[in-house]
A and B are shown apart, each in its own frame.
Chain A
Amino acid sequence: DSGVTQTPKHLITATGQRVTLRCSPRSGDLSVYWYQQSLDQGLQFLIQYYNGEERAKGNILERFSAQQFPDLHSELNLSSLELGDSALYFCASSDAGIMSDTQYFGPGTRLTVL
C-alpha cells in the first residue's frame, strides 16, 4: 500500500459525458501527479500540482483539467469523453516538487467510455 488513494476504482460512462477522478496523496506529500496509461500510448504524464499550484504540464488534452485543493487532495476532470479516453488513470504523490523525487503511485482508476 503506497498510501495514495484514488476513487473510484472503476468508472463506466458514455461518450460526451464528464467525469471526475479523485486522488488523496500520502500524508505530508505536497505534490500530486496525474498519469494516463493506455495499451497503445503506455504511461503518459498529464499534469503536476505542488501545494495547490500547477507545476508542470505534459500531454494533457484541453478537455481535461485538474486542480489541487487546500487539503492537498486533487481532482482530474475529463469532459466531452471519447472512446479513446478509455484508460487507467494514475495519481502519484511526492513530498516535494521535484519531478525526480520518489513518486508513490495510487492503485488507479479504470475509465471505460462506451
Chain B
Amino acid sequence: AQSVTQLDSQVPVFEEAPVELRCNYSSSVSVYLFWYVQYPNQGLQLLLKYLSGSTLVKGINGFEAEFNKSQTSFHLRKPSVHISDTAEYFCAVSEGRSARQLTFGSGTQLTVLP
C-alpha cells in the first residue's frame, strides 16, 4: 500500500527567502506524484505533477519539485517566496491514473512573514 509523509506541519519563512517543503512516500511500484496548494477558503489546486521523464518538475507560481527515486522523496522548492504563497500544501502519490488511487499527505501550512 502507498503512503505519504509530510514531515513538517508548519513552515514559517520570511518573504523573499527560499523554502523547501518535504514529502516522502512509500510504494512497492512506480508512482505518480503531485503537489496541491489550498489557499484560504478555496479548493485544492494542482501546483505540479511528476508522471515520467525529467525528475525536475516545474509548476505554477515559480515552484518546482524534484523526484528522487532512491530517497523516495518529492520535495517542493521555491527560491524566493511571496506573502501570497501563504497556503496549505499537500503532497499526493498515486500508483495509477485514477483519481481513486490518490493518497494525500497531511499537509504543510506555509506562512510567509513580512
A and B: interacting chains: no
A-side interface residues toward B, CB under 8 Å?
none
B-side interface residues toward A, CB under 8 Å?
none
